[in-house]
Structure 1
Amino acid sequence: MPPGPRLTLLIIPEEGGRTYEYKIPRVLVWVAALSGVALLVVLVMGLHAMLESKELARRVEHLQRDKDILVEEVQRVDQLEVILNGLQASNAQLRRITAEAVGLSDSESLTRSPRVGEQLISVVDRLRYGRLRTVPTLTPVRATTPDYEGEVLVYRPPAGSLVRATAAGRVVATSMAPDGDHHLRLDHGNGLFTEYAGLSMSTIEDGQYVQKGQPLGLSHPWLGVRFTLIEDGQQRRPEIGELWL
């Protein structure tokens, strides 16, 4: 590009003929170049704005969809709340019916049925306040008919049968006799304990909390599984089909 305020543009035909020469001011060239760059920038910005507009429209659509889903969930929560209130009312009625079935009521003294005639505060408390998971209502060994040895239930299942917790509680004692007989003691609260003996192995440790029906170990090959129910320091006779088991 020669120095000077103008640029020379030559147009020469290939097959000869007249040659055209144009003198173009350099400022005009710069203006044209800047205009082209500005036009390109405007096009890029317009394209970017169009893409952003489409993205915003897509986000608005998703937000509207999420809003509709949220409204449906709120309606479901309201329906579940109504159902829950109904279940709570039914639960309270069921507790009253259960208490009446075992001869208990708010106005009566907290006593056992006439068959035993002793106080049963812990069981009444569990029935009234819904802590039924801590009431021993499961048999420690399934599909086995027990025998009584005094106040102790004795099960004689096949060797290696699963022994489970009759109620939720905390393991407060574990021991093992020389013949491999494992002894376990669970605290269910309010002075209620259960003891398990005749296990060839134990799967729990002292201080561990167990849930109702949780495996405690396996039955001994020749020793029967012995289950003892203790309340307020005294052994109770678990009655199958009654409140216990």
Structure 2
Amino acid sequence: MFKRSDITFIIVPEKGRKTFEFKTSTTLVWLLGLCCVAVLGILPLGISAYLDKHGLTQKIVQLEQDKALLLEQVGQIEQLEEMLVRLTRGNDQLRAILGTPEALDEAAAQPHGETPYISFVQRLRWGHVHTVPTLWPLRGPVIRPFSEERPSVVIAAAAGSLVQASAAGQVLQVGYDADLGYVVTLDHGNGLLTQYGYNARLLVDVGDYVLKGQSIALLDEGRGSRRPGLHYAVQEDGRFRDPSRYRLWM
């Protein structure tokens, strides 16, 4: 058997106060010492692990931010690519419409029936693009194309969508029609008119001058089997034209 070995600790206060002493076994002292050594050895490892975890967390946050920024930049690039495609298409359409100056002068000299878009062409030639309805009134697919029987297009969009003026001009007519709902007609000068129907509310009055892209109405919710969509028509010198022929960009 092991002989018990004790250690006595004596505490001597200052100024002659009563001393304190207590005994404990040597084994317990050794165990306490080993525990202290173990704690002192493990503590740095724990601190290091905590710092590593904190660093990894910061890296994860930074990576998430970088990912979000990258996605935003990718979205911007896609928008720029889409814009470039539209501009390229518009440039090609302008070239096809305008052609050479000689061809344009020849077209202008032809009878009215053979030059259906001469007002449009002349405006573009002289830089009056703001009065040409090249802007689509709202973003959406055409669900009813232009035809001789129905000389307008219907552009699908959500109810309450803002309808924009496709070109600068003066408000010629506003009112309610039994078939088209609230309608607004814009006069762009020299016999060029645009008409916007199937609206729930009009934002302009007769005589107002509107800019290209200015909001002029709010689209209605549709009636019966008709889904929400804008009635959009273009007239040139009293004749209805296909609005898509004027469109150069969204």
Task: Tell me if structure 2 keeps the 8 A contact 1:165–1:212.
Answer: yes
Structure 1 residues 179, 103: CA separation in 2 closer, same or farther (over 3 Å shift)?
closer
Aligned to 2:171: 171
Aligned to 1:209: 209
* Equivalenced residues, count: 146
User: Which residue of 142, 166, 175 maps to 2:139?
Assistant: 142
Structure 1 residues 144, 242: CA separation in 2 closer, same or farther (over 3 Å shift)?
closer
**Distance between the aligned counterparts of 2:193 and 2:183, measured in 1?**
13
Q: What is the deviation of 1:119? A: 4.0
**Distance between the aligned counterparts of 2:169 and 2:201, measured in 1?**
19
Q: What is the deviation of 1:196? A: 0.6
Q: Does residue 233 in structure 1 map to residue 241 in structure 2?
A: no
1:34-183 alignment to 2 at 5 Å?
100-108=95-103, 109-110=106-107, 117-148=114-145, 150=147, 151-177=151-177, 181-183=181-183
**C-alpha RMSD over aligned residues:** 2.9
Q: What is the deviation of 1:141? A: 1.4
Task: Tell me if structure 2 keeps the 8 A contact 1:185–1:194.
Answer: yes
Structure 1 residues 193, 178: CA separation in 2 closer, same or farther (over 3 Å shift)?
closer
**Distance between the aligned counterparts of 2:246 and 2:119, measured in 1?**
19
Residue aligned with 1:201, SS: strand
Task: Tell me if structure 1 keeps the 8 A contact 2:171–2:205.
Answer: yes
Structure 1 residues 244, 97: CA separation in 2 closer, same or farther (over 3 Å shift)?
closer
Q: What is the deviation of 1:102? A: 2.0
Aligned to 1:218: 218
Aligned to 2:78: none
Q: What is the deviation of 1:149? A: 5.1
What percent identity do the matched residue pairs reach? 35
Residue aligned with 2:145, SS: strand
Residue aligned with 2:201, SS: strand
**Distance between the aligned counterparts of 1:226 and 1:133, measured in 2?**
21
**Distance between the aligned counterparts of 2:95 and 2:171, measured in 1?**
32
Task: Tell me if structure 1 keeps the 8 A contact 2:136–2:249.
Answer: no
Of structures 1 and 2, the one scoring higher in RCO (CA 8 A, sep 6+) is 2
Task: Tell me if structure 2 keeps the 8 A contact 1:199–1:219.
Answer: yes
Task: Tell me if structure 2 keeps the 8 A contact 1:110–1:124.
Answer: no
Provide TM-score, normalisation by structure 2: 0.51
**Distance between the aligned counterparts of 1:210 and 1:117, measured in 2?**
31
Task: Tell me if structure 2 keeps the 8 A contact 1:180–1:200.
Answer: no
Provide TM-score, normalisation by structure 1: 0.52
Which runs of no fewer than 5 residues in structure 2 stay unpaired? Answer: 1-90, 224-228
Task: Tell me if structure 1 keeps the 8 A contact 2:132–2:246.
Answer: no
User: What is the identity, as a one-letter code, of the residue corresponding to 1:217?
Assistant: A
**Distance between the aligned counterparts of 1:229 and 1:217, measured in 2?**
17
Q: What is the deviation of 1:135? A: 0.8
Task: Tell me if structure 2 keeps the 8 A contact 1:110–1:120.
Answer: no
Q: What is the deviation of 1:244? A: 8.9
**Distance between the aligned counterparts of 2:196 and 2:246, measured in 1?**
20
